[in-house]
Structure formats: C-alpha cells, structure tokens
Structure 1
Amino acid sequence: MTEVNENSEVKAIDPDQITEATNIEIQPVLKSETTDLDELEAQKRENEEEDEKDIRIKNLSEGNKKMSSELLRARADYENLKRRSTRERFEEIKRAKKNLFLNFLEILDNFERALDAVENHDDSFVQGIEMIHKQFLDVLSQGSVYEIKAEGTEFNPHMHEAMVQFPTNDYPENTVVQVFQKGYSFNGELLRPSQVSVATPAPSSSNDEKNPSVSEKDSSSQEDQA
C-alpha cells in the first residue's frame, strides 16, 4: 500500500503498522466488553447469594417459629404436670390427715363416754381428765377439725345420718332430736356424719277418736248381740 503526502510523494505503508493500529483500537472495545461480562457475572453471583441468603433467613425464621411453638407447648405441658403433681400430693396429704383424725375421733368418743359415766365432776382427778379432754379438742381445732352442731337443727342428709325416726309433736318435722354419735368436719368438708334421731309427726289422738279401730267396733257389736 502507498500513501500520498502533500508533496505528492508516495510512500510505502508497513502492514505491521496497520495491524498494530487496529489492535490499539480494538483492545479498548474488547476490554470494555470483558468488563461488562465480569460485572454481569458478579451481579448474577451477588443476586444468587442474596437469594440464598433470603432462603436461609426464611428457613431460620420458620425453624425459630416451630421451635418457639414447641417450646411453648413443652412449657405448658410442664406447668400442667407440675400443677397436677402438686394437686395429687396435696390430696394424698389430705387423705392421710383425714384417716389420722378419724382414728383420733374414735379415741375421743371413748374419752367422752368415760366422762359421761362419771358422777362426781368435782373430783380433782376427773377435772384433770376434763382438762386433757379440752386439750384434745384444741389439737383437733388446730388441725381444722370441728364438731358439727346437730341437735335442734334441721336434718341435713349431707351432714347427718338418720338412725331412728322419733314420732313427736314437740319438735318440727325433720328436726334432729338426739345425737348418738357426734359428727365432725375437716377444712370445711365432712369428715364424719352425725348419727342422729329425726323427729316425725306423732299420730293425732283426734283421728283415733273419729276413726275407732276394728276391734272396738267388733266388741261393741258383740255387746249389742248379747
């Protein structure tokens, strides 16, 4: 190839110079394209990493929710178990106390029968026994054991055990007339019912006068025949 200058002189152009110039112009373009590809790949990797991070965060969040739910259930189960164990232990202690106090009541019954059989309550020995009896009752009251007042009150099937029906007009119907064995409560609950007799209406004498018995009628008829 030749080149024409201002003096119209033709000079030969070196092909290597053309190749070198071309490479100089192409290299920035290739470098720019390579840079864009690298940036795209870097952005793609960054997006993938962000997606993976979001997935991990989501999985961790779901795992935390599940773990929190399981922890709450486990805690609720533990609290229920603790309350149930406490209640069962309390009931066992309560049953043991009731059985112990029931045994004490049998001793107290014999104690009071012996005191009722004593005629001279002015004797110093008897007075000492009565003091022991009072101490016995104080110990029971400290354990929340109290006598159930029954005589003269209305019969209560939840507190009293009817042993005898007593026909009388001196007391209202269903009134406790006599106590055979004292009843006691423990912590406001029935420990032992009172064994009592209960008043029932007595037969009216006026009915007998208005309605003579069959035997009386027969005797009067026999007298008439005679």
Structure 2
Amino acid sequence: MKIDILASGSKGNSIAISSFTTTILIDAGIAKKEIEKRLLEVGIRPDSINAIFITHAHGDHIKGLPLANKYKIPVYASEGEWKSIKGVDTELKQIMTGNQLINSFDVTAFDVHHDAFQPLGYAVVDEVGDKVCICLDTGKVDRQMIETMKYSDFFIIESNHEPAMLEYSSYQNSVKARVLSDIGHLSNEQTAEALSKLVKGRGEKIYLTHLSSKNNLPELAKMTTIRALSKKGFKEGEHYEIEVF
C-alpha cells in the first residue's frame, strides 16, 4: 500500500491511497489543478483514480471535486453530507453506507464527531491485507472508532491543536469553544491517547495531519504522541514510525 498526503490542514486536505491495481482519494480539498499537479508529482495519473471518498462537506475537504466530473470518478459520501455537496454530476454521486468494494480495496466507513451533517472516517484494506485508517476532523475518539481502527498498519489521524496555544490565540471565544468541543477537533493529547490504544508496536506508520497553523507546532504534536507511546514501551523507529504533515 502506498500513501501520499497531497494536502493537509485548514487550507485543504486530500490523501491518495494506492495498491497494485487501485487508487482512491480521501477528500479533494484543494483546487482541481493543484490536485492534478500533486498527483503527477507522486507518480499517479489523475485519470487512474478509481473513486473519491469524502469525509465531510466543509470546503477544505471538497474544493477540488470538479476533478470527479473531468475524469468521471465516482464520489462516495454519506447521505447527510450530500446535502452540502454541489456540482458533482448526478451519475457520479454515491451514498456511502457500510462497506464498499473498489477493485482490490475494501473500504469501510465509520462515524466521527464533527460539526457537519454526517461526517465519516474510513478504513481501507488492500488485496494483501494491509490496512489504513483515516480519521480527520473529529472532536473525540469513541469506543466504536477505536474498534474500527484497530489492527491498522497505517494511521492517518488529525492532531489539530495544543489547548494552551488555542486559549491564548486571537480566535474569538466562540471559535475556541467550537474547536475544543466534542464536534470540533482533536488536541495533541487526545490524538496521543487514541494512538496509545491502537499502536501495538509492530512497525505501524503514523501520519499526524490537519495541524492548526496558528495553534500547534509540528514538533509539539509529534513529541506528545511519542511520549504517550513511550509509556507503553514503544520506541520511535523501532516499534513504529511517525511523520507530521
């Protein structure tokens, strides 16, 4: 399984997941031309995309959906999120429920907690049994999410903010309250706690994504997770790998 983080953060999110026979996108949150450019940079032809899966319909996750119309790519999103997604050709619209087989990929949707109609995370298993879980915008990680994400080889999860930095930021109080709520975004500590329940020290690869440019630092996000995993006896580079976007 090959994973390429094409974009991550409040300005746009898009992830390409590829195997021998299949390539899908999780979200298309940057301009169509930029997605095309970044796909080519990592060796993926835009016309080879088999499907696009949308986590939720905020602009930083769907801005580039005109890509679907250009290349006739099916777009999967929850029934609730289709209320907010416009401009996708009717024949390409697919409602995501449960499992979906896309060539060699088995894609499972799971509920997350964000201020959207029906936001989703995704678990993807390829033809050799490798598993990646994608958990982007969510205010908390519940038991069912942990159950679905267990036994993954790759974890793509947001580590959005450091609460102290957010508290002293210039954000309005209403925005701070939204970010900190159960339908907001994960803090570094929340992400670290979730990963400490998920990582088994068998060489998993962690991708920390969707960091706030104002209320977080890449090294801070990384070290928070490293500290949590060290308490379980796991060492970076020996038991797991970690990368920050």
Q: Same fold (TM over 0.5)?
A: no
What TM-score, normalized to structure 1? 0.20
- Structure 1 or 2: more helix by fraction: 1
Which of structures 1 and 2 has the bigger CA Rg? Answer: 1
More strand by share: 2
Structure with higher RCO (Cα < 8 A, 6+ apart): 2
